[in-house]
Amino acid sequence: MERSGPVAEPVGAAVDFPEARRRRVASGQLPVLSAIALGGVIGATARYGASLLWPVGPGAFPWSTLLVNASGCAVIGVFMVLITEAWAVHGLVRPFFGTGVLGGFTTFSTYAVDIQRLVDGGHAAAGLGYLAATLASAMLSVWAAATATRWAIGRRRR
């Protein structure tokens, strides 16, 4: 005969309720999320400052966003080489600076809006050119910066 009903836990056994598990996970991630948020505020503020220094009129080519994305990608290339190949850093440096600051500074959402704005404004060729130029400059910036940083690190170690 099978027994039905709740099975009693052994005395002293820990019961892991889903709510308690979620709280433990969330509290363990709080420092990382806080570092990303703080870095994001700094990066987004810097990007906003760049847009104020170099405003772009309606229908104009979005040079400031292109420059922000290319320079941010170059810094990402340098940063990733330094923290993975040259320096031992605190565990919150990468989420703060890489994800937060640089993620907030580079703006691929504005890039998409700029393309749509150009196309809707009758500048489809400029929109497609901007699409290609941003992709090419972002990839080239990361590669060139990472390569130059590796070269500099290797030269310094000699």
Q: DSSP letters along 32-92, please?
A: HHHHHHHHHHHHHHHHHHHHHHS---TTS--HHHHHHHHHHHHHHHHHHHIIIII----TT
Is 69 contained in some domain?
Answer: yes
CB contact at 8 A, 41 and 97? no
Residue 8 region by backbone torsions, left for phi larger than 0, else alpha for psi between -120 and 50, else beta: beta
Is 3 contained in some domain?
Answer: no
Residue 120: give the domain boundaries: 18-157
Neighbours of 20 (CB within 10 A): 11
Model pLDDT, residue 78 = 98
Model pLDDT, residue 34 = 96
Is 11 contained in some domain?
Answer: no
Give the CB-side neighbour count of residue 78, counting CA atoms within 13 A. 12
Q: Can you give the pTM of this predicted structure?
A: 0.79
Is 119 contained in some domain?
Answer: yes
Report the chain's terminal Cα–Cα distance, integer Å: 78
Is 129 contained in some domain?
Answer: yes
Distance CA 69, CA 102 (A): 9
The alpha carbon dihedral of 129, 132, 136, 141 has a sign of: positive
Type of residue found at 103: G
Domain count, the chain: 1
pLDDT in tens, the chain (158 residues): 555 555 555 555 555 667 776 777 667 899 999 999 999 999 999 999 999 999 988 889 999 999 999 999 999 999 999 999 999 999 999 999 999 999 999 988 899 999 999 999 999 999 999 999 999 999 999 999 999 999 999 988 87
Is 13 contained in some domain?
Answer: no
Is 70 contained in some domain?
Answer: yes
Model pLDDT, residue 85 = 94
